[in-house]
Chain A
Amino acid sequence: MSEIKVKLKAEIQRLLNEDIMDMVIAFKKEDSPLRPQPAFFKNPDELEDLEYNSLCQNNLATYLTRYPQDTRIGIIVRGCESRSVNALIVEKQHKRENLYMIGIPCHGIIDVRKIINRTGEEISDYSEDQDEVSVLFEGQEVKFPRKEVLHDSCLRCVHPNPVNADILLDDPLPEGDPAVVRQAVESFETMDKDERYALFRHEAERCIRCYACREACPMCYCTECFVDHATPRWSESEISPAGTHAWHIIRAFHLAGRCTSCGACERACPMDIKMTYLTDKLNENMLEEYQFEAGMDDETQPPFASFNLDDKKRFVL
């Protein structure tokens, strides 16, 4: 893994030294080894802080929309991030020619909570290889098989390889099995409607309306979100059942045909609320009905932005 870091550093240095890009969005070390933070490198001297491992849990595409379109940005992209970037390009949030995508085929992001739940908070060191991660907890080394601590949405990942990346820093990985993607949706669908509602309720009503999921999501870039509207007030902003239900329904629905299943929303959630079973279902419908998968290229419009006269056959009454 560390060889990737060396290659990454060299590549970022090249981009900044030769003035190919204005800035590079990557990760840097933080106080806790478990939580590398997004970093915005403009100067090659700052690069000693650079970090890249499987704990880098943010979707960096989120930060693209916060810069003007003419900023030349280099960005680290893993499979899902590259698709988010492509989807943002389709929605004209940044120009492709002003982007440089440094692709890294992804082995999956580690869910910090899964490690902490088994050991404890005070972890002083972290290392990893292809199959195993190990942490230093109270002076003792604890090892986990990688598969056990991967984030749920990474376990269901189909496209680990970056799409449309300018450079790949590692050999491409085999694609995932599409049948695995359905797991979350399938287990939800086997229940009857009251049970489904009970589960949805259980998840949604824990929500404290911090909107961390919205901030973490690369596709949630509206300057004014529907929950912030004062008149008309579309959803109650306090923590009432009606308000949280409305938030979870509409949040997921606004991502229909745009979500790339990166799972950043779940990783950002302080209440550990499951959300991907909602967006995965919408993604699945989009694939079935419109043969569309978000971010697989940077030209195709998402289904809701386009329509077809043949549609009328599908809505017979």
Chain B
Amino acid sequence: MKTRPKIALFQCQWCLYSEPDQCWVDNELPPSIHLIKLPCTGRINPLYILNAIQGGADGIVISGCHPEKCHFKEGNLSALRQHDEFLNFLDYIGYERSRIRFVWLDLQDRGRIQRELADFEAEISKLGKVKNLATRIGTPVGDQYV
């Protein structure tokens, strides 16, 4: 059976999906998508992204508020530079940049998160498993594989 790609979804808790969407994200996400809620996209350290990749995520979606509409005024702006540079850097050492996607959401974007996730999942399925970065998956612990 073909398994669905694993996706880590980093969501800023203020980025105001419309209510039904937020409800869907909280309760009805498919099991292959792992939700991580954060106080702001500015809180995302590049380590989180790397850790998600090494922990076995095939793709990563980061959803936050539009740059000028941050709840903390400029939290996501301060992080943008780092994220952008980090993705360039991962690309430089051979990891596919397209495995990480930013989505800026807003109250008006009703139903968009589902579309984005479905689209992203299709794209990641084409790319297959992560080859160009060592992950912790399959590391033997004692004599067992976890």
Chain A contact residues, CB within 8 Å of chain B: 188-189, 193-198, 200-201, 226, 232, 234-236, 240-242, 244-246, 249-250, 252-253, 256, 278, 281-282, 285, 303-304, 307-309, 311-312, 314-315, 317
Contacts and interface: CB of A to CB of B under 8 A. Distances in A.
Nearest to A252: B89
A307 B77 CA distance: 7
B24 interface: no
- For this complex, into which size category does the number of interface residues on chain B fall? 35 or more
Interface in B34-80: 46-47, 50-51, 54, 67-68, 74, 77-78, 80
Nearest 6 pairs of A and B residues by beta carbon:
A197-B94, A241-B134, A312-B67, A196-B94, A197-B132, A193-B94
Mostly, the B contact residues are: helix
Interface stretch (B1-9, B10-18, B95-103, B117-125): B95-103
Contacts of B132: 193-194, 197
Contacts, number: 98
Contacts of B50: 246, 249-250
B54 A246 contact: yes
B89 A242 contact: no
Contacts of A201: 134
B126 interface: no
A242 B103 contact: no
A245 B133 CA distance: 7
B22 interface: no
B82 interface: yes
Contacts of B77: 307-309, 311-312
B137 to A, nearest CB: 9
Given A242-B54, A242-B139, A304-B82, A249 B89 contact: yes
